[in-house]
Amino acid sequence: MGQMLLLYRPPMKILVLGSGGREHALVWKLRESQLMKEIYCAPGNAGIAQEAECVSVDLADAASTLELATRLGADLTVVGPEAPLAAGVVDVFEKAGLAVLGPSRTAAQFESSKIFAKRFMERHGIPTARFRVGEDFEQAVRALDEFSTPVVIKADGLAAGKGVVVARTRNEAEQVLDAAMRRGALGRAGERVVIEEALSGEEVSFIVLTDGNTSIHLPPCQDHKALLDNDQGPNTGGMGAYSDDTILAESTRGEILRRIVNPTLSGMSEERIAYRGFLYFGLMMTADGPKVLEYNVRLGDPEAQALLMRLRSDLVELLSSACEGALATRHAHWSPNPAVCVVAVSRGYPAAPETGKTISGYDLAETVGGVKVFHAGTVFKDGQLLTSGGRVLGVTASGEDLPAALHRVYAAMSKIHFEGMHYRHDIGAKSLKRQAGPPPGPSSPARKQEAQEPHQRWR
């Protein structure tokens, strides 16, 4: 019956919540669908405004967001960022009977509380770093005795990417605890902390879309969090990402599903936590196998830009099915070609980004084949495109192999300019190193051989 209903789904009005590169990629992909009648984004940005009608909204205010969706007559609302989820926007929509894709406020705690997430993993035997909870400063300092250095300190709450510190020395760890727990440097988010052992290995972003019963897993991605080349400098929201099937061997992917994804989803249903939407597993591929660093309750940014470029299936159909609990009738098809997103950021990012700089060449960049420029912190003013935030543009390209995609992305990036613009030049470099030399075509035996390599190294 579900199948019949899905076949006759009438075209829909869709509202996307958010204003970053991830939301631009969502709008861009949703627009391709035959099932899309009208598309809105709130609040959106200058790039999104080229493809959807942008409407202003305060995403922290769930009631006015609901009022907006009702006024627009949205048949489906898709939530991009974590803040409205943690504020309970999904609960408010569901109570009013409006279709919305994203987890409830309770389920959003997988991201909005590190303590909640770690205790959940502990209850369900999900591999993660050994940890202790610090409820107050004295308890946190005592807990440090149980760890060698480097040691990782995580603010419990949402801290806009500033909540995690890998402390090299005991002294540094105590200073971090003092700043967060006694001097309120992170506000309420840092009142309680998780202290955990530092893991080493390569990080992988593994994302699934679930309707609460079944799930579809997306291809693997790798984010680049550090500001500067060779993973130097402070952590950011993400300076670039690529998605390529060779990031994970088939057997490693199986292990991630078996030991991490499935126990997480079945743990949720055991605990009667209804989860609909994207669930992001931030993994460290350690010598003891994959371990969870964090959950996010949404698509990653900039992972979404690379992933959505690879998606061949109808996104409206996938997201509506997830929302209706009908994902079992759906398959997602992906291009075998890798995709890469490189982010151009403003001078001063992440601490204090400059804004108001004129951006040139962004239209020229899209004349490079296979390239799409997703906007994040941009605004149109007096006929000019200006920067309005830290992450400005996410230049995204696909290619028949990673070197081809990288060539395109950097050729396009070289056409863009704004004062103080910075981007990393080594996105995807780890994969190139892993593949050791130019990768062959998708089905050649040599590529298969290489795909095994990370698996062996990570075990």
Q: Which does 303 bind (CB under 5 to 8 A by kind): ligand AMP, ligand GLY, none?
A: ligand GLY
Token pair of 71 as six digits? 């006024």
CB of 154 to ligand AMP, least distance (A): 6
Which burial class, exposed, middle or buried, applies to 61 when counting CB atoms under 10 A from its CB (0-12, 13-18, 19+)? middle
Among 75, 156, 223, 317, which residue interacts with ligand GLY (rule: CB under 6 A)? 223
Closest by CA position to 51, among listed 83, 72, 25: 25
Least Cα distance to 430 among 220, 260, 259, 234 occurs for 220
Smallest separation (angstroms) from ligand AMP to the CB of 294: 3
Give which of ligand GLY, ligand AMP, none residue 166 binds (C-beta under 5 to 8 Å, depending on kind).
ligand AMP
For residue 403, say if its preceding peptide bond is cis, omega within 30 degrees of 0: no
Residue 238: contacted member of ligand GLY, ligand AMP, none (CB under 5 to 8 Å, by partner type)? ligand GLY
Using CB distances below 5 to 8 A depending on partner kind, what does residue 301 bind out of ligand GLY, ligand AMP, none?
ligand GLY
Which of ligand GLY, ligand AMP, none is residue 300 near (CB under 5 to 8 Å by kind)?
A: ligand GLY
CB 403 within 8 A of CB 245: no
User: Which one-letter DSSP state was computed for residue 321?
Assistant: H
Task: Supply the minimum distance, in Å, between the C-beta of residue 114 and ligand GLY.
Answer: 13
Which string of b and e fits 29-60 if b means at least 16 CB within 10 Å? bbeebebbeebbbbebbbbbbebbebeebebe
Distance CA 63, CA 99 (A): 15
Residue 450 binds which entry of ligand GLY, ligand AMP, none, with Cβ cut-offs from 5 to 8 Å by kind?
Answer: none
Spatial contact of 17 and 84, defined as CB atoms under 8 Å apart: yes
387 touches ligand GLY by CB under 6 A: no
* Cβ-based nearer residue to ligand GLY, 18 or 134: 18
Q: Strand 202-210 to strand 384-387: parallel, antiparallel, or no bridges (unpaired)?
A: unpaired
Peptide bond into 290 cis (omega under 30): no
Block residue for tokens 């605890």: 177
x/- track of binding to ligand GLY for residues 281-310 (CB under 6 A): ---------------x---xx-x-------
To which residue do tokens 């990288």 refer?
406
Whole-number minimum distance, CB 96 to ligand GLY, in Å?
28
Among ligand GLY, ligand AMP, none, what does residue 164 contact (CB within 5–8 Å per kind)?
A: ligand AMP
Cα–Cα nearest to 139, from 192, 179, 186? 192
252/305 with CB nearer ligand GLY = 305
Number of residues that bind ligand GLY (CB under 6 A): 6
Binding interface with ligand AMP (CB under 6 A):
129, 152, 154, 164, 166, 196, 198-199, 203, 225, 235, 282, 293-294
- Nearer to ligand AMP by Cβ, of 200 and 443: the residue is 200
Pick the binder of ligand GLY from 18, 102, 163, 238 (CB under 6 A). Answer: 238
Instruction: Indicate the residue type of 26.
Output: L
Helix axes 315-324, 21-31, angle to 10 degrees: 100
Q: Which is nearer to ligand AMP, 164 or 371 (CB)?
A: 164
Q: Least Å distance between CB 448 and ligand AMP?
A: 29
In the complex, the smallest distance separating the C-beta of residue 420 from ligand GLY, rounded to whole angstroms, is: 22
Q: How far is the CB of 228 from ligand AMP (least distance, A)?
A: 14
Q: Hey, what are 226's tokens?
A: 């550090």
Helices 262-270, 114-123: axis angle to 10 degrees equals 100
Q: Could you list the residues that contact ligand GLY (CB under 6 A)?
A: 223, 238, 296, 300-301, 303
